Amino acid sequence: MDGKRLRSLVSPSSLVFLCLEHISDNLEKHCKEISLSDCEGINSQLVFRHQDVFLHSSLAECLLQILAKRHMLNDLVLSLFSNPSTTQLSRVNISGSSATLSGLKALSSHRITDLDASRLSNVNFTDIIVAQGQWTRKNIKSLNVSGCTFNTNHTNFCIVIPLSQLKSLLHLNVSYTEFNNNLGLEMVAEKLTNLVSLDISGTYVYNIQPLLKLKHTLRSLIMFKTRVPEKDLIPVLMELKELRYLDISEDAHPMIDMTQKPNVCMLLFTEVSLPNITGLDISGRDNVRESALVEFLDHHPNLKFLGLTITQSLMRDNHTTYELCGVDFLTDESHPFYRKDLQVSGHVTEKQVLEGLRRYTSRGQYVHKLLCGLFSLTQYLSEPRPDIVELVLPGMRAHSMHLGVQMAASACLYNLTKLQLGEEVHPSILKSMIELTLKAMRNFPDQQQLQKNALLTMCSDRILQDVDFDRFQASRMVMDCLFAFDDQSMIRMAVAICSILAAKISTKQTAELGTKRNMQKLLQIVKQKADMENADIILKFTLSALWNLTDESPSTCAIFVNEGGLELFIKILQSFPSEASLQTKVLGLVNNIAEVKHLRHFLLRGDFIDHCRKLLGSGHLEVSYFAAGIIAHLAHESVKDWGACFMERVEILNALHSKILSWENPESEMVAYRSFSPFFPLLERYDTPEVQLWSVWAMHHVCTKNASRYCSMLLEEGGVDILQRLVSSSSVHPDVQAMAHKVLQILLRTKPLQGFKSPAHQ
């Protein structure tokens, strides 16, 4: 594994970054709002609670960027950065924030050299410049206003004064704005005489003739998807001899006139054009001759990057096109014209695809094409590639409503993390991956293949067990798939995912997930399998899901009983007598029913109690354990409640006691509990030592297998006092005392407490 891929797995985030993330997550704890009396209408400001806080430029800039990425930057939050004595800013990124002109004025006291104010929806270009201090307007070097509004009144006058003030500007990005020729490009060329790089992608510029005034300074020109005709484009470009980087790419489109004059080829064929160029992007263009490209490469040995994503060439018969990025001299390392030092963006080789994903995050059509190529390249991966996973996510995030992108991205992510491949992906990356996958599911609920891709990706033990994401929302969307699609593989994955996630959400969320609608659907699946006597994996996963949904959720248990679940489960016990795993899941769920006092009477029926008694001697520990648990909970009921079964009760309890004493503590954890609260009422039954014995055996079992978790649980829930009473009371059965003593000894070894001593076993 190379160093970069290894770092993506094992390198945690820096302590500084984690601290800044903590601050952004807890602004209300670290900051306070103070009232102001301001003639400009600013009524309050956010300040740090500790007056001696000072964030130097790199810290303040990083915090600002984190807040922007999390869409937390409004006027109030931005006011936190208004005082240079507490925060210093030089390189500022407020992209996508909801700030208004009042909020932007918080930046006026800083000396800003680089400002990314792209995609601001509540201010226009003039506001952005006016809000800056005099020093910033005079000295700013880089300005990005991509996606912002230039003219609120549809005139150009408002940009004249602001632009003329930016005398020191070297880098300007006005892409995807109303920027045009008249008082836009002409003003830039006239006033910004030091300009080194310019991005006019997606603007209203139709003539780049004014750029000739910058031909001695301009080093980078990006004009993706502009309105400049090729007949006017090429002559100007040939005069811009200082260019190092040129992007004249287009969105891919069908060729309309196959015989049109190939003007881009004129640029490529001309030996003296772009003499200093090191990066050229002609992606998305049609009718680019292979011979012209060969000629250009021959004349430009210093070229380091060539953009050819969705670039088409034409066969000599003028009827057949092919993708230029797939030609031999660009893909075959043994070809005599192949250049190892040349990076090419395309969709044929892995190197081309990864280069494209790095460069074209904002271009939906490109991302879709690249991901389709990546899917083919990753279908049969044998080595983990966490580096590729990281490259898929930005494009997926940027085009959340582009079905093609989401479909291809979700398929690629499955290829990249299936089986053991995901084991070497950093948990933070997996978290981002699942969050984006869930967003895709939410945006396209009716797209079966996309939903299937999402289920395939999520159906991973590593992801479901170790990755932190919104498990409740995931469970809800996965459950919805059961209703939307009649696909056995999707049903299998959905119930498998729910069976795991249901055990990892809160009891409140479990109750919300265990609705009548959802329980009916799961019971329907169980019934279908039971009627067919098909004990397949779907049945097992569904039983597990029901088991976890009813855990400490009385409302869900009641729905289960009312919807005929008990009769159905008794049928399963009878239909699959040799399937220990099925019997365990069924009895585990019935244990949850037995814990609910007002539902126990449904279990006090002769046929069921008789079956539980037989299962005590099943020879399978888990089956015996849960059968014993049901009996222990039912024994909590009065003689009157047992009715005709009272005589059996005595025999069963005697059998229960002797069976428990014969159990060997298994090597692995047999069961997991959310809390010990269901055990405490059983431990108080001094008149029924068999019930107490089952409870302390269960507590002893889980404490031996996961001491750190369950010993903490015992302390937090007050179980220690109950156990101490059992050990010290003369009215407690010796077997119960002995087991309780063992639990306390584990607790003492794991969680030594001041003043706590385990009493001597009597």
Q: What is the pLDDT of residue 36?
A: 76
- 367/347 Cα distance (integer angstroms): 10
Query: pLDDT tens across 712-744, in order?
Result: 999 999 999 999 999 998 899 999 999 999 999
- 424/694 Cα distance (integer angstroms): 42
**Residue closest to 410 by CA, chosen among 425, 428, 389:** 389
Binning pLDDT at 50, 70 and 90, where does residue 152 land?
low
- 144/140 Cα distance (integer angstroms): 11
Binning pLDDT at 50, 70 and 90, where does residue 755 land?
very low
What letter would DSSP give residue 760? Answer: P
- Other CB atoms within a 10 A radius of the CB of residue 483 amount to 11
If you write DSSP's letter for every residue of 30-72 in order, what string do you get?
HEEEEE---TTS--EEEEESSTT--B-HHHHHHHHHHHHHTT-
In the predicted model, is pLDDT for residue 389 greater than 90? yes
More confidently predicted of 239 and 156: 239
Query: pLDDT tens across 591-646, in order?
Result: 999 999 999 989 988 888 888 888 988 889 999 999 999 999 988 766 566 666 65
Residues of the chain with pLDDT > 70, as a percent, come to 91
In the predicted model, is pLDDT for residue 474 greater than 90? yes
First to last CA, the chain: 60
Q: What is the pLDDT of residue 302?
A: 95
Element (H, E) at 395: helix 386-398
Query: pLDDT tens across 480-514, in order?
Result: 999 999 999 999 999 999 999 999 999 999 999 99
Q: What is the pLDDT of residue 229?
A: 86
- 354/215 Cα distance (integer angstroms): 33
CA distances from 146 to 149, 225, 614, 748 (A): 9, 14, 74, 63
Binning pLDDT at 50, 70 and 90, where does residue 232 land?
confident
Q: What is the pLDDT of residue 638?
A: 60
Amino acid at 95: S
In the predicted model, is pLDDT for residue 751 greater than 90? no
- 648/106 Cα distance (integer angstroms): 80
For 488, how many CA atoms within 13 A lie in the half-sphere containing its CB? 6
- 330/322 Cα distance (integer angstroms): 14
Q: And the tokens for 62?
A: 């990083």
Q: Would you report the helix, strand and coil content of the chain in percent, each value rounded to 5?
A: 55, 5, 40
In the predicted model, is pLDDT for residue 7 greater than 70? no
pTM of the model: 0.87
User: Which residues, in sequence order, are CB contacts of 607 under 8 Å at separation 6+?
Assistant: 570
**Residue closest to 308 by CA, chosen among 376, 363, 225, 366:** 366
Query: pLDDT tens across 552-597, in order?
Result: 999 999 999 999 999 999 999 988 888 999 999 999 999 999 999 9
In the predicted model, is pLDDT for residue 757 greater than 70? no
Query: pLDDT tens across 337-378, in order?
Result: 899 999 999 999 999 999 999 999 999 999 999 999 999 999
In the predicted model, is pLDDT for residue 680 greater than 50? yes
The residue count of the chain comes to 762
Element (H, E) at 233: helix 230-237
What would the mean pLDDT of 27-39 be, rounded to a whole number? 80
Please tell me the least confidently modeled range out of 41-55, 374-388, 685-699: 41-55
Domain edges within the chain: 664-762
Q: Is 607 exposed, middle or buried (0-12, 13-18, 19+ CB in 10 A)?
A: exposed
**Residue closest to 748 by CA, chosen among 740, 762, 698:** 740
In the predicted model, is pLDDT for residue 456 greater than 90? yes
Q: And the tokens for 711?
A: 């010993």
Mean pLDDT estimate for the chain: 89
Burial call 634-669: b when 16+ CB within 10 Å, e when fewer: bbbbeeeebeebeeebeebbebbbebbeeeeeeeee
Q: And the tokens for 253?
A: 């489109």
Burial call 608-625: b when 16+ CB within 10 Å, e when fewer: bbebbbebbeeeebbbbb
Binning pLDDT at 50, 70 and 90, where does residue 687 land?
confident
Burial call 306-318: b when 16+ CB within 10 Å, e when fewer: bbbbbbbbbeeee
- Other CB atoms within a 10 A radius of the CB of residue 736 amount to 24
Burial call 514-534: b when 16+ CB within 10 Å, e when fewer: bbeebbebbbebbeebbeeee
Q: What is the pLDDT of residue 35?
A: 83
CA distances from 473 to 210, 442, 449, 729 (A): 54, 10, 20, 48
Q: And the tokens for 461?
A: 């033990």
In the predicted model, is pLDDT for residue 5 greater than 80? no
- 266/214 Cα distance (integer angstroms): 23
Binning pLDDT at 50, 70 and 90, where does residue 1 land?
very low
- 315/287 Cα distance (integer angstroms): 9
Query: pLDDT tens across 288-330, in order?
Result: 999 999 999 999 999 999 999 999 887 766 667 889 999 999 9
Q: What is the pLDDT of residue 154?
A: 47
Are the CB atoms for 665 and 700 separated by under 8 Å?
yes
More confidently predicted of 329 and 759: 329
What would the mean pLDDT of 506-524 be, rounded to a whole number? 95
Strand, coil or helix: what is 454?
helix
User: Which residues, in sequence order, are CB contacts of 571 under 8 Å at separation 6+?
Assistant: 530
Query: pLDDT tens across 75-132, in order?
Result: 999 999 999 999 999 999 999 999 999 999 999 999 999 999 999 999 998 889 989 9
Query: pLDDT tens across 157-204, in order?
Result: 455 557 778 999 999 999 999 888 876 898 899 999 999 999 999 999
